[in-house]
Amino acid sequence: MTSHTATGPFDVKLAPQPLSDVAEHSGLGRMSIAKQFHGTLEASSAGEMLGWRDASGSGGYVAMERVRGTLDGRAGSFLLQHSSTMTRGEPAQSITVVPDSGTGALAGLTGRMVVDIAPGGAHSYRFEYALP
């Protein structure tokens, strides 16, 4: 498989969601995620995030999102799994394609994504991926 890099901006909307009865007093937060990717990845996504953050800028989150659209002109969908931490403002990201989650022309997709947030809040992605 040949490795490729996709880059571009994306828009994200987060909406608070209620926690389960078990977790409601845990201090965690739950959000729905809706994104619109632009560039080499022209797609929309929907997912859920569970996270925690303190006043010092430290925290962590996990999330799953289904991405549907085209990647370099190939149509299909795939799942991204997030597991990221922040230590006093310094991020450590892990955003990977769930194995065997690719559909359509994206079947067999593997890869990792990095999200960058500019000082003004603009979001962009860098997606290192491979297809069979």
pLDDT tens digits for 57-66?
Answer: 899 999 999 9
Q: What is the DSSP letter of 125?
A: E
User: What is the reported pLDDT for 91?
Assistant: 85
Q: Is the pLDDT of residue 28 over 90?
A: yes
Give the chain's domains with CATH numbers: 2-131 (2.40.350.10)
**pTM of this prediction?**
0.93
Residue 68: what residue type?
Answer: R
Do 98 and 83 form a contact (C-beta atoms < 8 A)? no
Do 3 and 122 form a contact (C-beta atoms < 8 A)? no
Q: Is the pLDDT of residue 1 over 80?
A: no
pLDDT in tens, 76-102: 999 999 999 999 988 899 999 999 999
Per the prediction, the chain carries an average pLDDT of 95
**Residues paired with 75 in a beta bridge:** 70
CA angle, residues 121, 93, 71, in degrees to nearest 5: 75
Q: Is the pLDDT of residue 50 over 90?
A: yes
